[in-house]
Structure 1
């Protein structure tokens, strides 16, 4: 049908028929066990806001899966086990999949505080730059996308096969610190496995980093709808309200404006340049 119902094809006053928006069927993984950093609740809230603001009817369906890492999720997306996931971006991931280039955490994933053994925070009192930091060994997981960033900036790494193992390594003195983002560290510090650990109070590592929604390369309609919905949520204030609701307290506790910022270089990716998409802490007095 090319024209609205009841109109004559010969009627010059008739208006072109506009089909209703396509219903979006969005599937995403719901692992049975995840690290308790609360990513899922926040990101799913944003996803629902984006879909509600996209102008499309939608169905949002979780796909139950055992726990897995982000590298495996790349494969699951390509295998069509689901059609969307939120992942920490890197060059390989952006070539393989379709990124929706709007940083879901406003870049807070790249503001890293140091989890240290209680009493060891004094070791970092005179740490002001990368040269000083290079004397300390950081703990990271295997295949974490920020490992190359840290290595390129001269930071020694000790890798672990598991997230839980890094807490044990820190407690045993096998690493000097465990760099965790502002949105992770406070929840993790309160866990039983972090007993005897504390957050170093004076420094913060910073580099550009972003979690994006990713779809398959052959899903342009879904990606476009979510992107437009996210920008609509920014424009009407829903995005910022959600961000502050979930992470305002963590930002306040982190006191980024009072810390010495140790900036790490990153030039492997092109990130969005609009300042409103990125969190910017107050200047240190």
Structure 2
């Protein structure tokens, strides 16, 4: 997803750790406010590696404006060291995953950005009308596209992430599905440009979609270190503490909401995918 225009100043330099003092500096993708948690997780895992094994890593954002598919190619070429994205068969063939779901399933819980004028109309729909009557806008490389199409939803795609908000405001489609941790952040960043957009209040979709760290298939040592760091953070509770602190407002809002949640099958999941455990934030 192309996020260069939204990068905060903190991502213009090494975001976590001091590159000059590191044994190795890792370039990572994707970058932007909605991905901040993923890199805090990596920082936490690598801090465990530093304390347990004496190996220090710095982190540097890869801030060029590239698509997810292009980023995968750059990782294969050694330009990017670590990617944090969801899984599918193609990615598992091209990269080496650390099969621990760092998102605890939260990315698969989707709410919808809509035009405020459509709030009442959509709220009156039953689930069948919601599926058959609406058109959903998505980036062509997002995981939602094949998932929603396989479950009978009509999808309109764009290759440009930013254009989706203008297309929604212009009623080119009815709803823009976003992760529950993404929607409010993205809406706030564009409130001045698109004051007519809001978050739909009555529904959510959920599909199993683990988020992994990925490295080059030749970099098994790095993959093993990241996995050891993640397992150490799970064992001592620091990963859960980070998750709950970062998502506190979202977890509180979720507890107050009364959305009908429609569960979807995910045909993208390769065999052996990480189990989805939502108990830290949902049920």
Q: Same fold (TM over 0.5)?
A: yes
Q: 1:274 to 1:175 in 2, by over 3 A?
A: closer
Q: State whether residues 130 and 262 of structure 1, in contact with CA within 8 Å, keep that contact through their aligned partners in structure 2.
A: no
Q: Secondary structure at the match of 2:182?
A: helix
What is the total number of aligned residue pairs between the two structures?
Answer: 255
Q: State whether residues 114 and 199 of structure 1, in contact with CA within 8 Å, keep that contact through their aligned partners in structure 2.
A: yes
Task: Report the TM-score, using the length of structure 1 for normalisation.
Answer: 0.81
CA distance in 1, matches of 2:88, 2:179: 17
CA distance in 1, matches of 2:253, 2:237: 23
Q: State whether residues 108 and 279 of structure 1, in contact with CA within 8 Å, keep that contact through their aligned partners in structure 2.
A: no
Q: State whether residues 116 and 176 of structure 1, in contact with CA within 8 Å, keep that contact through their aligned partners in structure 2.
A: yes
Aligned residue number for residue 229 of structure 2:
229
Aligned residue number for residue 86 of structure 1:
84
1:162-183 per-residue CA deviation (whole Å, 9 max, x = no partner) reads 2221111111111110001011
Q: State whether residues 111 and 178 of structure 2, in contact with CA within 8 Å, keep that contact through their aligned partners in structure 1.
A: yes
1:30 CA drift (Å):
6.5
Q: State whether residues 186 and 250 of structure 1, in contact with CA within 8 Å, keep that contact through their aligned partners in structure 2.
A: no
Is 1:77–2:64 an aligned residue pair? Answer: no
1:89 CA drift (Å):
1.9
Q: Secondary structure at the match of 2:181?
A: helix
CA distance in 2, matches of 1:151, 1:61: 37
Q: Secondary structure at the match of 1:262?
A: strand
1:196 CA drift (Å):
0.9
Q: 1:63 to 1:273 in 2, by over 3 A?
A: closer
Q: State whether residues 107 and 279 of structure 1, in contact with CA within 8 Å, keep that contact through their aligned partners in structure 2.
A: no
1:93-131 per-residue CA deviation (whole Å, 9 max, x = no partner) reads 111101111122211111000111012011222444356
Q: Which has the higher helix share?
A: 2
Task: Report the TM-score, using the length of structure 2 for normalisation.
Answer: 0.82
In structure 1, the gaps of 5 or more residues are: 1-22
Quote the RMSD (CA, aligned, Å).
Answer: 2.3
Q: Secondary structure at the match of 2:93?
A: helix
Q: 1:274 to 1:140 in 2, by over 3 A?
A: closer
In structure 2, the gaps of 5 or more residues are: 1-21
Q: State whether residues 137 and 157 of structure 1, in contact with CA within 8 Å, keep that contact through their aligned partners in structure 2.
A: yes
Q: State whether residues 84 and 215 of structure 1, in contact with CA within 8 Å, keep that contact through their aligned partners in structure 2.
A: yes
Aligned residue number for residue 275 of structure 2:
273
CA distance in 2, matches of 1:198, 1:114: 8
CA distance in 2, matches of 1:62, 1:184: 22
Aligned residue number for residue 99 of structure 1:
97
